Amino acid sequence: MTTWAWGAAIDNGQEAPAILERARADVDPELRSAVDTLPPEMRRVARYHFGWQDADGLATTAHAGKAIRPALVLTAADALGGARARTAAVRAAAAVELVHNFTLLHDDVMDRDPTRRHRATAWAVFGDPDAILAGDALQALAFRLLAGDSHPAAVPALGRLASCVVELCEGQQIDTALERREPREVGLAEVLRMAEAKTGALLGCACAIGGLYAGGSADEVDALDLFGRQAGLAFQLIDDVIGIWGDPLHTGKPAGADLAARKKSLPVVAALTSGGSAADELAALYSGPYVEGELERTALAVERAGGRDWAQAEAADRMGDAVAELARAVPDPERGGGLLALAEFVTRRSN
Amino acid sequence: MTTWAWGAAIDNGQEAPAILERARADVDPELRSAVDTLPPEMRRVARYHFGWQDADGLATTAHAGKAIRPALVLTAADALGGARARTAAVRAAAAVELVHNFTLLHDDVMDRDPTRRHRATAWAVFGDPDAILAGDALQALAFRLLAGDSHPAAVPALGRLASCVVELCEGQQIDTALERREPREVGLAEVLRMAEAKTGALLGCACAIGGLYAGGSADEVDALDLFGRQAGLAFQLIDDVIGIWGDPLHTGKPAGADLAARKKSLPVVAALTSGGSAADELAALYSGPYVEGELERTALAVERAGGRDWAQAEAADRMGDAVAELARAVPDPERGGGLLALAEFVTRRSN
């Protein structure tokens, strides 16, 4: 048995930001040199999307995202194979970040989201065709990076990443389909599958790729995938709770945003499918557009129908499963501490 | 020197259709089994797009396209490496066809084209998100197919195909940008670059990948790429001529279609940039929307401004260059006959 326990990394509370910062510093040069091979117009869109320059092409210091996925690749490689494996995996970490950003570019087009990271989205600035094409090109760049990597893990990593892209598309497909359905026609199993495909799959794939670069066994790599996948689901559950009741650490979106947008998030669907009067009230509210001032009542209906408790219990269960998988892949808690710190960071258990 | 000459395959006039039919038969099972790994909703969109089923999921016998790109992969492999190389390249041929169809799905969304191959386009039937996602997934499937291929050519082929995707995106990017510009602000060099990136690049890449699977040298593979690229440009020039003056073999789009759509095709831009009164007349016509009955006058202006002659001479030059590259890659005319037949077929020199 293992001495692993959820919360083991809590006394390393400051570890995750340092891991993320170091991953960003290591991966950025690889990422920038890949993007710089693009033809000028697509390079411009990609560099804008990454926050490296503004719409006119001037350098900016906009926030380029938290680099969680590259950090998972590098930290998993390190946990299983040490510093040399971590260094070998930098290119693969950049490939994972390219895939993540290709999906963001396309998701924003499909969802008609006007802003991301407090800036206008690429389609809003450059139009749909340029945003779609920049996304397509980033996907190709990710695979080209791996095809040009002579490490023996590169081809298995490539196959795994390609399968993950299909799963990411599946997640987004379910998401857009569910948005078009009546609130009460959406099942909890569907939204859980959507969250796993859209969020869990790439976090799991990132960890698995790190494991491949460390020369991990099939069992170890699969356990790392499940660790990332379950942590990703926990993250989505917590993120959805924050989308309704706000972020205790004041870093996320404003309280109620998801309710006003009538988003069929995990706590909402859990509430809608719970039966009882609070579920009926929520269904009635969700059947029409958002009316100014009804936020508190809607949030209360989700809470009374059990949506909040369910999401928090489910997130705890998923984190428990994640930690069990991590212990299977990396039995020494000392070596697995970085991955645990990242999982706790994304689920807002530490900052 | 070589005995190669343009037209050498003319006495094999029936060869190209047989080559295409055999390529389709060999590649289809690989293509279908790749598409069948997709999650149900995306599989439905992809199978509709390929013409294998209708919008309700019932099997159809719609025309799935001419399989020119897979045929180029297989025929190039055969020309340089014989039947064993051809067999080894079937999976790569399917990957090239997946990439081609991913770009068709996305181009139709961006161009708002309502029909393709006489059927409603995927976005028109399933909506933009499903069409974009099916395209994204087909790109990933292409790379996954190659990553799962243990042939030593698979990884170099993958890198080449990924670079080609970036070039295809560049071609479409230029195309959509030029459509937004005033007719007289478009230069001939730009439309030629657009045609090379959008059409030539993948035909060249298909030939190069065939050469890689035959174990060809870097010089041979590059020559095959240039052969396909130049033949692709010749094809686009002839296709643009047909888009104005109609297809002598009655297989293409109706005469005048491109003029009515105010398309800045190669003969039109050549005419617009030629100087003189016919260019001015054409610019004046193109500055407004198409008016019923002015087709003949517009076509005549393109012709008088030299657009038709230029396109036909340029197509002949490009075919000459293509044949020279083919002779460099495959010095024995007997072995290169299939590739020449395909090049002549796509440029309407044979049926």
In a domain, B40, yes or no: yes
Is the Cβ pair A158, B172 closer than 8 Å? no
In a domain, A24, yes or no: yes
B25 Cβ under 8 Å from any chain A Cβ: no
Is the Cβ pair A132, B109 closer than 8 Å? yes
For residues B83-112, average pLDDT: 98
pLDDT tops 60 at residue B82: yes
Rg of chain B (C-alpha set): 20
Is the Cβ pair A39, B144 closer than 8 Å? no
Which residues sit opposite B53 in a β-bridge? B59
In a domain, B159, yes or no: yes
Residue matched to tokens 């020494």: A332
Where residue A96 sits, what CATH number does that domain have? 1.10.600.10
**Residue A186 · residue A269 · CB < 8 Å:** yes
DSSP state letter for B254: P
In a domain, B283, yes or no: yes
* Three-state secondary structure string covering chain A: CCCCCCCCCHHHCCHHHHHHHHHHHHHHHHHHHHHCCCCHHHHHHHHHHCCCECCCCCECCCCCCCCHHHHHHHHHHHHHHHHHHHHHCHHHHHHHHHHHHHHHHHHHHHHCCCEECCEECHHHHHCHHHHHHHHHHHHHHHHHHHHCCCCCCHHHHHHHHHHHHHHHHHHHHHHHHHHCCCHHHCCHHHHHHHHHHHHHHHHHHHHHHHHHHCCCCHHHHHHHHHHHHHHHHHHHHHHHHHHHHCCCCCCCCCCCHHHHCCCCCHHHHHHHCCCCHHHHHHHHHHCCCCCCCCHHHHHHHHHHCCHHHHHHHHHHHHHHHHHHHHHHHCCCHHHHHHHHHHHHHHCCCCC
In a domain, A11, yes or no: no
**Can you state the angle between helices B201-213 and B154-179, rounded to 10 degrees?**
180
pLDDT in tens, A15-24: 999 999 999 9
pLDDT tops 80 at residue A325: yes
Residue B141, classed as helix, strand or coil, is: helix
pLDDT band at A117 (very low <50, low <70, confident <90, very high): confident
In this predicted structure, what is the pLDDT of residue A5? 54
In this predicted structure, what is the pLDDT of residue A248? 65
A196 Cβ under 8 Å from any chain B Cβ: no
Domain count along chain A:
1
Of B106, B130, B158, the CB nearest to A136: B106
Of A118 and B161, the structure prediction assigns the larger pLDDT to B161
In a domain, B4, yes or no: no
Residue of chain B with shortest Cα separation from A39:
B170
ipTM above 0.85 for this complex: yes
Of A257 and B159, the structure prediction assigns the larger pLDDT to B159
In a domain, A2, yes or no: no
pLDDT band at B14 (very low <50, low <70, confident <90, very high): low
The residue segments making up the domain with residue A152 are 16-346
pLDDT band at B256 (very low <50, low <70, confident <90, very high): confident
Report the C-alpha gap between A294 and A242 in whole angstroms. 18
Both structure tokens of A246: 């706000």
Report the C-alpha gap between B231 and B224 in whole angstroms. 11
In terms of phi and psi (left: phi > 0; alpha: psi -120 to 50; beta: otherwise), the region of A127 is left
Both structure tokens of B59: 């099997």
B109 Cβ under 8 Å from any chain A Cβ: yes
pLDDT tops 80 at residue A110: yes
Both structure tokens of B130: 């499903």
Lowest mean pLDDT among A27-41, A49-63, A211-225, B143-157: A49-63
CA-CA-CA-CA dihedral for A31, A34, A38, A40, to nearest 10: 50
* Residue B38 burial (10 A CB sphere; 0-12, 13-18, 19+): buried
Report the C-alpha gap between B171 and B164 in whole angstroms. 10
* Residue B55 burial (10 A CB sphere; 0-12, 13-18, 19+): middle
User: Which residues, other chains included, contact A86 with Cβ-Cβ below 8 Å and sequence gap of 6+?
Assistant: A74, A75, A77, A78
Residue of chain B with shortest Cα separation from A179:
B129
Q: Which residues of A touch B132 (CB under 8 A)?
A: 106, 109-110, 132
**Residue A69 · residue A203 · CB < 8 Å:** yes
Residue of chain B with shortest Cα separation from A141:
B162
B189 Cβ under 8 Å from any chain A Cβ: no
Q: Give the Cβ contact number of residue B53 at 10 Å.
A: 17
In a domain, A222, yes or no: yes
pLDDT tops 50 at residue A70: yes
